Amino acid sequence: MRRVVVLALLALALPVAAWASGIDVTNRWGSIAISSSGIVSTKSQLMAFNGVTPTKGHTLGTVMFSTGACLTNCGNLLAGNSTFSAVGSSFMVTSSGQPGMPKRGTIIFSGSFVGPITWTITSAPGAKSLTYAISGTIFGQLSDGRWVTGTTTQNVYTIAGQLALGISHIRMGNTNLVVPEPGTLGLLGTGLVGIAGVFRRKFLSA
């Protein structure tokens, strides 16, 4: 009976432990160029990575990303109801070598968008200062070799005249990366429960 209980506890604990591998990434500032050809961001400051924050006056590194070409509502990006392709996209996080981080210049995440990226207006109608959100799903590899999937939302601001020139700026970006193990370990957990059931039936029949 003790063996049955141990197996059942392992089955429940393993999937839960797998979900603990989420990595939160925060970035801010940097500029964005936007046109029907795509969105390109440069030099956004990495402000938090997996619980690590920089010392005062420093950053953890940089976040840079790009999308593919515009897919829908490409003639009026000011309206903020467009989608962009993931084809040819990129998403990269580079370390500046701060304490708790890999050495300077290390690419700590390298990946790309998966599926369409949305460009959505978030400011009130008629506002002079315009805000938008860039959102999408990303997939790539960490510097330690793990493959991760995640979502990112980049909140940007601009004014109509600047956006007409393709210029906007990142106010804050939030990204969450998760190692895609829970599904696999969940299946393992289910298997262990099944094994426990087999053992239990054997014990009862004995």
193 against 154, higher pLDDT: 154
185 against 59, higher pLDDT: 59
Residues 79 and 150 in one domain: yes
Reply yes or no on whether the pLDDT at 199 is more than 60. Answer: no
The predicted pLDDT at position 206 comes to: 53
> What tens digit of pLDDT does each residue of 3-62 get?
544 444 444 444 434 444 699 999 999 999 999 999 999 989 999 999 999 999 999 999
The predicted pLDDT at position 195 comes to: 43
The predicted pLDDT at position 75 comes to: 95
Residues 199 and 154 in one domain: no
Residue 194: which domain range? 1-21+181-206
Residues 134 and 71 in one domain: yes
Band (pLDDT 50/70/90 cuts) for residue 70 is: very high
167 against 8, higher pLDDT: 167
Residues 149 and 83 in one domain: yes
CA–CA distances in Å: residue 188 to residues 8, 120, 194, 201, 205: 11, 40, 10, 20, 26
Q: How much is the pTM?
A: 0.78
The predicted pLDDT at position 179 comes to: 87
What is the secondary structure of the chain as a DSSP string? -HHHHHHHHHHHHHHHHHGGG-EEEEEE--EEEEETTEEEEEEEEEEEETTB-PPTT--SEEEEEE---EEESTT-GGG-EEEE--TT-EEEEEE---TTSPSTT-EEEEEEEEEEEEEEE-SPTT-SEEEEEEEEEEEEEETTS-EEEEEEEEEEEEEHHHHHTTEEEEEEEEEEEE-S-HHHHHHHHHHHHHHHHHHHHHHHH-
Structure tokens at 127: 């506002």
Residues 136 and 56 in one domain: yes
Residues 17 and 80 in one domain: no
Residues 1 and 83 in one domain: no
The dihedral over CA atoms of 133, 58, 150, 181, expressed in degrees to the nearest 10, equals -170
Residues 30 and 101 in one domain: yes
Structure tokens at 177: 């990366």
